[in-house]
Amino acid sequence: MIKLTSVSKEYPRRGAALRDVSFEVRKGEFVFLTGHSGSGKSTTIRLAHFADRPTSGEVRVSGYSSERLPERDVWKIRRRVGCVFQDFRLLPGRTALENVAFALEVTGTPSKAIGPKANRLLSQVGLAAKAGAPVNELSGGEQQRVAIARALVSEPVVLLADEPTGNLDDRATRGIIDLFFELNAMGMAVLMATHDLELVRAHPHLRVLELDQGRLVFDSAGEAR
Ligand SMILES: Nc1ncnc2c1ncn2[C@@H]1O[C@H](COP(=O)(O)OP(=O)(O)O)[C@@H](O)[C@H]1O
Ligand SMILES: [Mg+2]
């Protein structure tokens, strides 16, 4: 699903954000990506979303390669890969339903199908009752649910999440993680960047990748991969 092979990423004047990173996330896997602030987590998520390209090495996601996919075709990846962020990135002043509906519109959903599908997605993330609420009047946990519903519009096979619980309290965090588990149980691969070690330790059965200064220093699945 996601495969990084000897990936390095250098930013002008900043040196290397990632150094020779290789790992693979398979279909239906749930993986935590951990590491201190500045270790390269967000860079990894951006590369996996093709929001940026590696300086060297290859990123493959859902069959597409960073070496071969032209910039004008990046939307094809976005149809297969959903992404959510710490700061939600919703349209302020719009309702939960409008936020999801807008994403459906952009992906070419026939207009008659948009309303029912947006409502169904909001139900899926446990937010049916708040469909008509402006997103800025929702709690952080609820806003993240809207963002997740929006990420699901194209029925992705991979969900990327960059510190999705970074702005949430413990209770909302558990709710979001449980929702990720539900989506994962339906077959979606999840790569979730977090510096919250407590959260990672609370799920010892899940695979953990750890970055340190741009290097992959630990993979709980071992060297065999
Ligand atoms: N757009 C950018 N331009 C320059 N340097 C960047 C940029 N994004 C990240 N960096 C640098 O790359 C390194 C890794 O950052 P990042 O991937 O955001 O780490 P994390 O998400 O683990 O905190 C840091 O040193 C950061 O300053
Ligand atoms: Mg980050």
Position 90 pLDDT exceeds 80: yes
Q: Which atom of ligand 1 is least distant from the CA of 52?
A: 1
Full domain range(s) for residue 216: 1-80+156-225
Pick from 155, 170, 203: which residue ends a domain?
155
pLDDT for 225 equals 43
**Most informative mutation of 43, 194, 215 for ligand 1 (most atoms within 8 A of CB):** 43
In a domain, 219, yes or no: yes
169 in the same domain as 97: no
In a domain, 86, yes or no: no
Which phi and psi (to 5°) does residue 154 adopt?
-100, 20
150 and 169 fall within a common domain: no
Does residue 85 form part of some domain?
no
Structure tokens of 186?
């339906």
User: Do 72 and 167 belong to one domain?
Assistant: yes
pLDDT per position as a tens digit, 213-222: 999 999 999 8
Q: Is 16 found in the same domain as 2? A: yes
Tell the residue nearest (CA) to atom 16 of ligand 1.
40
* pLDDT tens by residue, 117-135: 999 999 999 999 999 999 9
Instruction: Tally the domains of the chain.
Output: 2
CA 40 to ligand 2 centroid distance, Å: 7
165/66 same-domain check: yes
Q: 105: Cβ–Cβ under 8 A, 6 or more apart, which residues?
A: 111, 114
Average pLDDT score over residue span 199-212:
96
Whether 216 is in a domain gets the answer yes
Q: What is the pLDDT of residue 15?
A: 84
pLDDT tens digit sequence for 10-69: 998 888 999 999 999 999 999 999 999 999 999 999 999 999 999 999 999 999 999 999
Task: Pick the atom of ligand 1 nearest to 163's CA.
Answer: 21
Are residues 74 and 168 located together in one domain of the fold? yes
Looking up residue 195, the CATH number of its domain turns out to be 3.40.50.300
Question: Is 192 domain-assigned?
Answer: yes
Is the same domain home to 74 and 160? Answer: yes
Residue 93: CB atoms within 10 Å:
9
Select from 155, 184, 209 the last residue of a domain: 155
Give the list of residues 6+ apart from residue 116 with CB closer than 8 angstroms, or none: none
